Amino acid sequence: MIDATAIRRALPMAAAIDVIVAALVAGLDPDQAAARSISDFTAGQVLSMPAEVGGRVGVKLATAAPGNPRIGLPRIQAVYVLMDGATLTPIALLDGTELTNLRTPAVSAVAVDRLAVPQANHLVLFGTGPQAWGHVEAVRAVRPISRVSVVGRDGHRTRAFVERLRGLGLDAAPGTAAAVAGADVIACCTTAREPLFDGRLLADHAVVVACGSHEPTAREVDTETVRRSVVVVESVASACAEAGDVIMAMAEGAVARTGLVGLAALVGGETATAGPSLFKSVGMAWEDLVVASAVFDTSASHVRPQEGAS
């Protein structure tokens, strides 16, 4: 059993970023990854996310319950089962919620590190939940962020989030959608189903990360953002099936499937042209597995079965 505290102790954010990069450099092809299944229930969705990488197999069962925040529970919750690839013997059970909170911003940071200008220091953040906090940590791991503008729907939560950032020594303040005009990096970590800002406001060097949705009918960025941007996705196949930000823009002629850049290609050295950049993620099972494997291999909290044990 590896709980949330043990996950973070075993694999800090910078190490999680390195693990994602190492997997892609080693030849992992996200477009060949197993598809996840999504089942709809009264309270929301249950996602089953299997993967096989590097002699390990893993499955995450994740739930997305939109009503949970109103009763003080996380919208996203999960458990993760890690297995030996040769025998499919379960070897660890991990806190899947914390795993998600770690791997999602780590993947975003891999893209930001290859797209953002070296001196990027102003982050505009949409959202005040766990993913928003994780993206502050992740972007700071790859760029010298000193200023953060927080755009949130709830004034109390936004002010509390800002105070937490100030506790890290950051120049943080509540902001509005217009703040994207002066941003180096914009991170969208919300449950929004409609665009959060006007893409015409983006500076030519800006990098936008959109990670809040995995549904073809929901999006955080508008068609203009997609039209102006180099669009990077985890996997072209998964983006065309699940990324509403991309799917709706494609339907409007803003980008073609052939114009999408896979994350593996970006890590492999494919360069972006002039203009803003957009990294759209939907979350993929291979990301969970490579991070979970690294946690297992470095964690002192797991217990290996003794020889002869039943």
Side-chain half-sphere exposure of 285, counting CA atoms within 13 A: 26
Residue for token pair 């068609």: 223
* CATH number for the domain that contains residue 274: 3.40.50.720
97 in Cβ contact with 3 (< 8 Å): no
Residue 165 resides in a domain: yes
pLDDT tens digits, one per residue of 144-203 = 999 999 999 999 999 999 999 999 999 999 999 999 999 999 999 999 999 999 999 999
CA dist 233 and 270 (Å) reads 13
Pick the closest to residue 189 from 133, 144, 138 (CA basis).
Answer: 133
Q: Is residue 219 part of a domain?
A: yes
Structure tokens at 258: 């052939």
Residue 41, Cβ neighbours under 10 Å: how many? 9
Question: Within this chain, do residues 126 and 172 fall inside the same structural domain, yes or no?
Answer: yes
pLDDT reported for residue 35: 83
For residues 175 and 226, state if they share a domain: yes
Residue 172: CB atoms within 10 A of its CB come to 22
- Cα–Cα nearest to 299, from 9, 76, 37: 9
Please report, for the domain that includes residue 83, its CATH number.
3.30.1780.10
Same domain? For 250 and 123 the reply is: yes
- Residue 85 shares a structural domain with residue 155: no
> What is the dihedral sign for C-alpha 17, 23, 243, 215?
negative
271 and 194 fall within a common domain: yes
| Of 147, 151, 10, 140, the residue nearest 82 (C-alpha) | 10
The whole-model pTM stands at: 0.92
Within this chain, do residues 181 and 65 fall inside the same structural domain, yes or no? no
Could you tell me the two tokens for 5?
A: 């505290």
> 308 exposed, middle or buried (CB, 10 Å; 0-12, 13-18, 19+)?
exposed
Which whole number is the average pLDDT over 72-87?
A: 94
- Say how many domains are in the chain: 2
Domain membership of residue 279 as a residue range: 108-283
Q: Which helix (H) or strand (E) holds 41?
A: strand 37-41
Q: Are residues 93 and 199 in the same domain?
A: no
In a domain, 54, yes or no: yes
Mean pLDDT of 105-110: 98
d(CA 308, CA 88): 18
Do residue 60 and residue 120 come from a single domain?
no
Q: What is the pLDDT of residue 141?
A: 98
Percentage of the chain exceeding pLDDT 90: 87
* Judgement on whether residues 44 and 172 belong to the same structural domain of the protein: no
- What stretches of the chain show up as alpha helix (H) in DSSP? 4-10, 13-25, 96-115, 130-142, 155-166, 223-228, 236-242, 244-251, 263-267, 285-298
Shared domain check, 216 and 118: yes
Query: Is residue 46 situated within a structural domain?
Result: yes
SS3 call for 274: coil
Q: Is residue 306 part of a domain?
A: no
Specify whether 151 is located in the same domain as 126. Answer: yes
Residue type, 274: A
Q: How confident is the model at residue 213 (pLDDT cuts 50, 70, 90)?
A: confident
Domain assignment present for residue 89? The answer is: yes
- pLDDT tens figures, 108-159: 999 999 999 999 999 999 999 999 999 999 999 999 999 999 999 999 999 9
Q: Is the dihedral of CA 203, 208, 212, 218 positive or negative?
A: positive
pLDDT level of residue 309 (50, 70, 90 thresholds): very low
* Residue carrying structure tokens 């998600």: 100
pLDDT at 307: 38
3-state secondary structure of 95: strand
CA atoms within 13 A on the CB side of 246: 31
